[in-house]
């Protein structure tokens, strides 16, 4: 069986993105905290609570999508032992 990782691009952002993942897994929470610190803003709050018109701005949407993608990867690696190196295929759209 082959494993593939697919990453979404801009236009896939939505208020609440990553919230369930962060609630369930510490590695995801760590990624969101790292992103907040690196950007010097609470992007994770904007992702979780909106407002949607601010989240859809390119300067917010792209880092938000990247943060969720990284949170998924880190969670898969640490919680389930599934690293991206096991993927036979990796694809994405735009930023993905």
| 25-77 tens-digit pLDDT | 999 999 999 999 999 999 999 999 999 999 999 999 999 999 999 999 999 99
CB atoms near residue 58 (< 10 Å): 9
Is the confidence at residue 95, as pLDDT, over 90?
no
- What are the tens digits of pLDDT across the range 39-48? 999 999 999 9
Report the number of distinct structural domains present in the chain: 1
Average pLDDT, stretch 10-23? 97
- Is residue 2 in some structural domain? no
Domain-embedded: residue 57: yes
pLDDT of residue 93: 87
Sign of CA dihedral 2, 96, 39, 22: negative
Answer yes or no: is 55 within a domain.
Answer: yes
Crossing angle of helices 58-80 and 26-39, rounded to 10°: 150
9 occurs within a structural domain:
no
Question: Domain range for residue 81?
Answer: 14-89
Q: What is the pLDDT of residue 94?
A: 85
């Amino acid at each position: 069986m082959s494993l593939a990782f697919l990453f979404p691009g801009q236009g896939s952002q939505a208020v609440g993105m990553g919230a369930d993942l962060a609630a369930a897994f510490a590695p995801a929470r760590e990624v969101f905290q790292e992103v907040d610190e690196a950007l010097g803003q609470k992007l994770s709050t904007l992702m979780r609570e909106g407002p949607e018109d601010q989240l859809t701005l390119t300067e917010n949407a792209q880092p938000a999508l990247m943060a969720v993608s990284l949170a998924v990867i880190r969670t898969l690696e640490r919680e389930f032992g599934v690293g991206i190196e096991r993927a036979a295929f990796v694809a994405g759209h735009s930023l993905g």
